[in-house]
């Protein structure tokens, strides 16, 4: 008589958990002063001598940080989203140097990326991720300084030329959604069962959103390279 094996079959449990993460992003993109045909509204108020001169923008390196959440499907796949804050800063000046100013744009971005882990070890893995991101401009501000000329007649009928600086601040906002696509190659190191560090070099392409009134780095340099570092906690 043959007895059937009554031992239950053992299957390896797949990871279907959720990972929360925090990320800081340092972009390699910036620019020196470059001609631009856009003008600020304050230009019409303060710089009569520079009305017909285009502004030159110098874009600074963006500052980004945010939180992410990833749903993992098995050993290799995952879907990630979250919220990323980005500050875009630019200095501008007119060609005759009479006008200068500073611009700040604050964005909240929502990414959606698919991740594939192609190398897995106990404490180390490599992966690639790609997907789109929507950035919303939630606040913006320009601080404009213009140097105006004034002539005062003296008793001897000679003209004395004086300069004075006027400052004007205006709130601005780009109401168009800024779409972009991102490709990242990542490496993560698991320190404990629920905590790990990661680093990601990335390349991004920012699609023209159709608003030509506001200059920024993403519009003037749509292809950017960046480096992300952060940590993830899984449960």
Taking only the tens place, the pLDDT of each residue in 14-48 is 455 788 888 887 776 666 655 554 544 444 444 44
SS3 state of residue 88: strand
Confidence of residue 8 (pLDDT cuts 50, 70, 90): very low
DSSP line for 34-45: EEE----TTHHH
Helix residue spans in the chain (DSSP H)? 43-46, 217-220
**Residue 109 scores a pLDDT above 70:** yes
| Mean pLDDT value across residues 84-102 | 87
Residues 6+ apart with CB under 8 A from 85: 64, 65, 66, 106, 107, 108, 109
More confident site: 177 or 9: 177
Give the count of beta carbons closer than 10 Å to the beta carbon of residue 26. 12
Task: Tell me what the pLDDT averaged over the chain comes to.
Answer: 81
Confidence of residue 159 (pLDDT cuts 50, 70, 90): very low
C-alpha span between 77 and 74 (Å, rounded) = 6
C-alpha span between 163 and 124 (Å, rounded) = 63
Confidence of residue 13 (pLDDT cuts 50, 70, 90): very low
How remote is the C-alpha of 125 from its chain's centroid?
26
**pLDDT value at residue 19:** 81
Burial of 133 (0-12, 13-18, 19+ CB in 10 A): buried
Q: Which of 15-19, 94-98, 153-157 has the lowest mean pLDDT?
A: 153-157
Q: Which of 29-43, 91-105, 179-193 has the lowest mean pLDDT?
A: 29-43
| Mean pLDDT value across residues 98-117 | 94
Do residues 181 and 54 touch, judged by C-beta distance below 8 A?
no
Please choose, from the candidates 192, 202, 180, 225, the residue with its C-alpha nearest in 3D space to the C-alpha of residue 115.
202
Q: Domain 18-141+171-234 is in which class?
A: mainly beta
Whole-prediction pTM value? 0.78
C-alpha span between 86 and 216 (Å, rounded) = 12
Confidence of residue 221 (pLDDT cuts 50, 70, 90): very high
**Residue 188 scores a pLDDT above 90:** yes
Residues 6+ apart with CB under 8 A from 22: 65, 66, 67, 68, 230, 231
Give the pairing type, strands 63-73 and 55-59.
Answer: unpaired
């Amino acid at each position: 008589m043959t007895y059937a094996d009554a031992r239950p079959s053992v299957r390896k449990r797949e990871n279907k958990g959720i990972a929360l993460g925090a990320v800081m992003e340092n972009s390699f993109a910036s620019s020196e002063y470059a001609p631009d045909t856009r003008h600020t509204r304050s230009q019409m108020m303060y710089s009569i001598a520079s009305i017909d001169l285009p502004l030159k923008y110098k874009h600074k390196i963006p500052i980004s940080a945010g939180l992410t959440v990833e749903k993992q499907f098995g050993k290799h796949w995952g879907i990630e989203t979250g919220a990323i804050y980005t500050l875009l800063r630019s200095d501008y000046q007119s060609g005759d140097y009479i006008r200068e100013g500073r611009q700040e744009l604050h964005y909240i971005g929502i990414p959606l990326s698919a991740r594939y882990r192609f190398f897995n070890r106990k404490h180390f893995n490599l992966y690639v991720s790609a997907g789109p991101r929507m950035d919303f401009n939630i606040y913006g501000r320009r601080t404009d300084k213009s140097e105006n000329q004034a002539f005062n007649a003296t008793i001897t009928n000679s003209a004395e030329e004086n300069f004075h600086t006027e400052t004007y601040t205006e709130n601005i906002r780009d109401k168009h959604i800024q779409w972009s696509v991102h490709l990242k190659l990542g490496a993560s190191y698991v320190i404990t069962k629920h905590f790990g560090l990661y680093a990601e070099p990335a390349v991004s392409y920012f699609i023209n959103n159709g608003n030509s009134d506001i200059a920024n780095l993403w519009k003037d340099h749509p292809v950017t390279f960046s480096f992300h570092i952060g940590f993830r906690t899984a449960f």
